[in-house]
Chains A and B, each alone.
Chain A
Amino acid sequence: MTGVTSSRPRLRGLFAIAAVGFLALLLNACGKEEQAIPIALAGPFTGNAAAFGDKVRKGAELMVEEVNARGGINGVKVKLLIGDDAADPKEAATVAQRFAADARIPIVVGHLNSSCTLAAQPIYSRAGVVELSYGSTNPRIAENSPWTFRNIYRDDVQGPTVARYAQTILKLRKVAVFYDNDDYGIGLKTGFVDEAKRIGLTIIAEEAYTRESTDFTPQLTKIRAAGPDAIFISGLYNEAALIASQARKLAIRTQLLSADGALSDDLIKIGGQAVEGLILSVPYVFSEEDPFAKRFKEKYGEFPDSWAGQAYDAVGIAIAAITAVGPNRAKIRDWLASRTTKEKGYQGVTGLTVFDEHGDVKKPVFFATVKNGKFVPAAQQLPNG
């Protein structure tokens, strides 16, 4: 009995020491966590564009990991804060509210879908935080707000380039157009159709559809009757894959064209044989020897697509900005706006980012095709492309 009672105080003391030690550890950990600079990353990590979001997150995480391995920004680590907009403008606005209200966040990298970037735009502008999109191509995006930047071309560049490619390289004459009825699909389609008319391509049909449609046979049947040389799909990979497979089922064997919205492994997974030979415009195509592609493959066991590269670069630009002027929202904006010459531009894995007065970039448009179930650079690129 006495033994037990005498050991009690000692035990209590031990507990106290352990508790203090644990608390100190916890505080220490919190302190470190608090110190890391949070960079917000917004994109479609679930929903009908989730395949993009997956690559985006992987690309962004790789950049953060590499920067932290080099000691972070002046010795301070960086971390990502993920915001999922599910490719839905309503969700994008919610995510934007959350990020804008969090004063620790110096810059938001996102969103991907043009409709999401546009929906979030007024919220970021009001709060005075930069929205740096890695994938929104709708023409109006950067012009609308001094707080919006992007490291990808505009659809009034991409669309016309596809039209010129169709005419000069593929020698097509009659094209039918399918477009997603959102900011991306319409912006891209308009760019394509305007240029097509200017250079003498005939547009024999323009068919709109809504996201998550699954039946395109009525429109395809109508298009088949008009006998096009090619079908241009201005939309995202899910619907592009369905349009392709339903076209093949209706014995439409014409050339299929699309743009960067179709650039996802899911296009091939869903479209299978039907998307073989489809040609699409993309921000960048990585070769097997590309050092970034190798690092990416080593970490994730899969090959990066343009979106992984675009997100990697966008996070890189955000980190460069914070390195230069510190985690200050207004200063970051001014610093980005001053990146207007080649010398001041950011050299990333997808090319050089130099902003114009709106926050748009001039980056070339590349062409890729599906060959044996993989995206490869198209045999021919446009000379200035």
Chain B
Amino acid sequence: MFLQQLINGLTLGGVYALIAVGYTMVYGVIQLINFAHGEIYMFGAFLAYTFAGTLGVPFYLAMVLSMLCCAGLGMLIDLVAYRPLRLAPRLAALITAIGVSLFLQNLARILWGAQNKPFPHAAVPAYLHETALRFAGVTVSYLQLFMFAVTLAMMASLHFIITRTRYGKAMRACAQDRVAAYLMGIDMDRIVTATFALGSAMGAVAGVLVGVYFNVIFPTMGYTAGVKAFAAAVLGGIGNVPGAMLGGLVLGIGEAFGAAYLSSLYSHGIAYAIMILVIVLRPYGLLGKREGVKS
């Protein structure tokens, strides 16, 4: 049972991690907590539902299309809602983010209806729902393996982009010191746009995976997931990408064990309790670095 719970926790934790990197990247670059990120995740699920279920696009292609659309949506949100406020006080952008989140939630309600929707069975390759491994009383489905694989692949490519490419270097430079980066000739707006696109694509993948895994999607699904991923990002040290990944996994596993060994009623509470505990003991998060105050 211990092992099974660990696998359940890892599956969920991987998803939290995928969403959390979106929060943390945007925060790293423009110090904005993008509360609309949970809604991007929700849109990812609904777009894949429309592509695969309604339009009959093959599942894997639908997933890629949903990623692309959400990347576009992320860029659009930045352009319309956040860019005009780049030099405004941070609180203005934060409140705008909450507004965007509400707007997207209600837009989804209008587009797809308020009711819970099952992810159409026919649209998902049947083998995904079958059991892949069975050992020592543990069952792992192909879908879980697929989720691990996708999460790992996404994380690896993100890590590559950030550490090995020019864009990644520019992004890190912006995160370190915006003014100095600007003086070095880095186009701030382009970097921010790319960051939104990348983070949103990751969020969309998480949405599709969860939609298929739990087989249900609904317009408010982004709220809880978003808040938890935000907790994961803070847990790992906001602004720190590997920290967000670690935070997501810790949160997922903590929740699974909490539900299994304490009480399922408190599984949400346990996630936040872990976050608070870490913040109290390590105010900069698990992998966060102590920063001097920027002038």
Contact = CB atoms under 8 A, between A and B. Distances in A.
Interface of A: 46-48, 50-51, 181, 207-210, 212-219, 221-222, 224-225, 238, 241-242, 245-246, 249-251, 266, 269-273
Given A218-B260, A222-B260, A251-B131, A242 B267 contact: no
A270 B118 contact: yes
Interface in B256-280: 256-260, 263-265, 267-268
A214 B218 CA distance: 11
A266 B118 CA distance: 9
A51 B113 CA distance: 11
B143 to A, nearest CB: 8
Contacts of A250: 4, 139
B115 interface: yes
15 contacts: A207-B264, A208-B264, A210-B265, A212-B218, A213-B267, A214-B214, A215-B214, A218-B5, A218-B8, A219-B264, A224-B1, A242-B214, A251-B134, A270-B215, A272-B121
Contacts of A266: 115-116
B141 interface: yes
B264 A270 contact: no
Residue with the highest number of chain B CB atoms closer than 10 Å, among A217, A251, A272, A273: A217
Given A218-B255, A224-B1, 10 more contacts: A207-B264, A215-B267, A218-B9, A218-B259, A218-B264, A221-B8, A241-B118, A241-B216, A250-B139, A273-B121
Contacts of B224: 212
- 10 closest Cβ pairs, A-B complex: A218-B259, A208-B265, A270-B118, A214-B214, A218-B260, A217-B8, A218-B256, A219-B264, A46-B114, A221-B4
Interface residues of B, number: 37
A157 to B, nearest CB: 26
A207 B265 CA distance: 8
Contacts of A241: 118, 216
A238 B214 contact: no
B118 A269 contact: yes
A241 B217 CA distance: 13
Contacts of B218: 48, 212
Contacts of B69: none
B228 to A, nearest CB: 11
